[in-house]
Amino acid sequence: MKTYAPKASEIDRDWFVVDAEGMTLGRMATEVARVLRGKHKPTFAPHMDMGDHVIIVNADKIVLSSNKGDVKMVYRHSGYPGGLKAMTYNEMLRRRPADAVRKSIVGMLPKNRLGRQQARKLKIYSGPNHPHSAQKPESMEIAGARRESRDS
């Protein structure tokens, strides 16, 4: 029996919307990365972009477990000597919540052309609104990622 190899014309892409309010960042990021890669489909092929589009709303209301917000650091480098910049995750979520969520999700994708292609299907918005209603996105529930309140 031959191994099934999907063709590019056979790929159908769906749109999903995730409400990140009260969700734990890491648990949400792993499920979104799985959908972006296409690992939830029976026709998954690791060398092809099989994934779906994902819209994340309310990125500014995401939470981190434990005290990671104060301890965990986000680093970036300008490329010049001494150009290392660092800030805590709480500061990053306060300043640029969409970038903090994007950095967590894109870090779980492949580090090559395929990963960059998959990352382009990720749309993140800080507020509750998004301009992709014409694509009729379905709501995606993520098990185990909900929390009751922000301070618990």
Q: What are 53's strand-pairing partners? A: 15
Average pLDDT in the 136-145 region?
89
pTM for the model stands at 0.90
Tokens of 44: 């998954």
Q: Is the pLDDT of residue 150 over 70?
A: no
Q: What is the mean pLDDT of the chain?
A: 93
- Region of 118 on the Ramachandran plot (φ > 0 left; ψ -120 to 50 alpha; else beta): alpha
- Indicate the residue type of 130: H
Checking DSSP bridges between strand 53-57 and strand 15-19, what pairing results, if any? parallel
pLDDT at 3 over 90: no
Residue-range domain boundaries for the chain: 16-61+93-139
Q: Is the pLDDT of residue 151 over 70?
A: no
Per residue in 88-105, pLDDT tens?
A: 999 999 999 999 999 999
3-state SS assignment for residue 38: coil
Question: Quick count: other Cβ atoms within 10 Å of Cβ 7?
Answer: 7
pLDDT band at residue 147 under the 50/70/90 scheme:
low
C-alpha 146/C-alpha 24 separation (Å) is 7
High-pLDDT (> 70) share of the chain, % = 95
Q: Report the top-level CATH class of 16-61+93-139.
A: alpha beta
The rounded distance, in Å, linking the Cα atoms of 19 and 150 is 15
- Do residues 62 and 132 make contact, with C-beta atoms less than 8 angstroms apart? no
Show the tokens assigned to 49. 């972009």
